[in-house]
């Protein structure tokens, strides 16, 4: 009976290792689920962005009598020029448009020459939720009916299974 009372209270090394292993497994599961949720959120944000870009591209085609821009840069400049005006001081400004609503973390801007002199700060690149540049394909490469916008998706490489298109392929 005396041996029983002298035993130190606490956990054995094996019990501590088992507890740490269980905690490590739970943390691993939580990280995996978190990564899936984050990527799902990024996919949905990118799909929404591509749909908005497609709508903007269709407005450019409509306002230019069916002329399809031949590059992403050309589309972005043309779209913004269609929404630009000169104020009373001769400074180029933009009316509210779809590109102005994109988060600043998803766009890159630079000065672009305007018709009839002057320059204006314009969005010249749009990125997906992973930070990869969105591509504009004016040809019938993916969709025989219309141009499309493509995100490289999570892996950052165009032409792989995780690409996201502005239409359902």
Question: Is 70's pLDDT higher than 90?
Answer: no
72 in Cβ contact with 126 (< 8 Å): yes
Count of CB atoms situated within 10 Å of the CB of 125 = 14
Give 16-24's long-range contacts (Cβ < 8 A, gap of 24+): none
| 51 located within any domain | yes
| 26 located within any domain | no
Mean pLDDT of 44-72: 87
| 15 located within any domain | no
d(Cα 146, Cα 30) in Å, to the nearest integer?
Answer: 42
Quick one: pLDDT at residue 22?
A: 95
| 93 located within any domain | yes
CATH code where residue 54 lies: 3.30.700
The domain of 123 spans 45-165
| 11 located within any domain | no
| 5 located within any domain | no
Quick one: pLDDT at residue 145?
A: 60
Quick one: pLDDT at residue 132?
A: 94
Q: What is the pLDDT of residues 33-55, one digit of tens each?
A: 999 999 999 999 999 899 889 88
Question: How many structural domains is the chain composed of?
Answer: 1
Question: Is 97's pLDDT higher than 90?
Answer: no
d(Cα 136, Cα 165) in Å, to the nearest integer?
Answer: 10
| 120 located within any domain | yes
Question: Is 142's pLDDT higher than 70?
Answer: no
How would DSSP label each residue in 51-92? HHHHHHHHHHHHHTTTPPPSSHHHHHHHHHHHTEEE-TTS-E
Strands 84-86 and 92-94: antiparallel
Mean pLDDT of 159-168: 84
| 40 located within any domain | no
Pick 105 or 4 by higher pLDDT.
105
Q: What is the pLDDT of residues 15-35, one digit of tens each?
A: 999 999 999 999 999 999 999
């Amino acid at each position: 009976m005396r041996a029983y009372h002298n035993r130190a209270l606490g956990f054995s090394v094996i019990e501590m290792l088992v507890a740490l292993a269980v905690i490590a497994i739970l943390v691993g599961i939580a990280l995996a689920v978190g990564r899936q949720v984050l990527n799902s959120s990024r996919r949905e944000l990118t799909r929404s962005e591509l749909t908005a870009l497609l709508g903007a591209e269709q407005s450019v085609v409509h306002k230019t009598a069916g002329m399809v821009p031949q590059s992403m840069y050309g589309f972005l400049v043309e779209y913004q020029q269609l929404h630009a005006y000169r104020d009373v001081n001769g400074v180029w400004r933009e009316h509210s448009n779809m590109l102005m609503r994109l988060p600043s973390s998803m766009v890159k801007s630079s000065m672009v020459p305007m018709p009839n002199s002057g320059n204006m700060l314009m969005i010249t690149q749009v990125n997906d939720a992973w930070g990869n540049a969105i591509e504009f394909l004016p040809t019938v490469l993916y969709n025989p009916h219309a141009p499309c916008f493509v995100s490289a998706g999570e892996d950052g490489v165009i032409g792989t299974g995780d690409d996201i298109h502005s239409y359902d392929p």
